[in-house]
């Protein structure tokens, strides 16, 4: 696992023991299986929600969960670029963000010997206002993505 930070972005990469196409499918089709549960990882703060990624440009990344028999949906972002199996870009809306306050997550999938190198770059933090809670430090963002990509890598074992 490797990570880099700048004023405006975080980059994390991990080696996944699967080919590129399989790794892309794991990331996009099994999102709920590798995305950790609990308030640190889930927008709705629930351990019972299900994460979904709709596989097309303008598709939603969202969490759905039931509250007293009613399904609630919390949208995290929308897919901006869909290029299977090499690249995916989606917008990201933090919990404390207004609807127009979004950052961008780019994920690339590249061959790495008999495995896949997944590199995730989360950028656009400077676009949020200086007082925005998500801009206080990018260290937790880097740790967040490192933990999630580690979970993706473990799923492929």
Distance from C-alpha of 43 to C-alpha of 49, rounded to nearest angstrom: 9
pLDDT tens, residue by residue, 24-83: 999 999 999 999 887 777 765 556 789 999 999 999 999 888 878 888 888 889 999 999
Task: Give the residue-averaged pLDDT of 95-122.
Answer: 91
Tokens of 107: 């994920």
Tell me the Cα Rg of the chain. 15
119, β-bridge pairs: 13, 108
What are the structural domains, with CATH classification, of the chain?
2-33+80-155 (3.30.530.20)
């Amino acid at each position: 696992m490797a990570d880099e930070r700048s004023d405006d972005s975080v980059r994390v990469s991990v080696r996944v023991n699967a080919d590129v196409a399989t790794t892309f499918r794991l990331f996009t089709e099994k999102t709920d299986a590798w995305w950790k549960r609990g308030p640190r990882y889930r927008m709705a703060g629930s351990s019972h929600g299900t994460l979904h990624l709709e596989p097309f440009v303008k598709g939603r990344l969202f969490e759905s969960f039931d509250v007293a028999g009613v399904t609630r949906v919390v949208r995290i972002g929308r897919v901006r670029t869909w290029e299977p199996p090499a690249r995916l870009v989606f917008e990201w809306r933090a919990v404390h963000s207004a609807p127009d306050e979004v950052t961008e997550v780019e994920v690339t999938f590249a061959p790495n010997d008999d495995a896949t190198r997944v590199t995730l770059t989360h950028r656009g933090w400077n676009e949020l206002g200086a007082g925005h809670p998500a801009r206080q430090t990018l260290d937790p963002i880097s740790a967040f993505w490192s933990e999630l990509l580690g979970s993706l890598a473990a799923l492929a074992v």
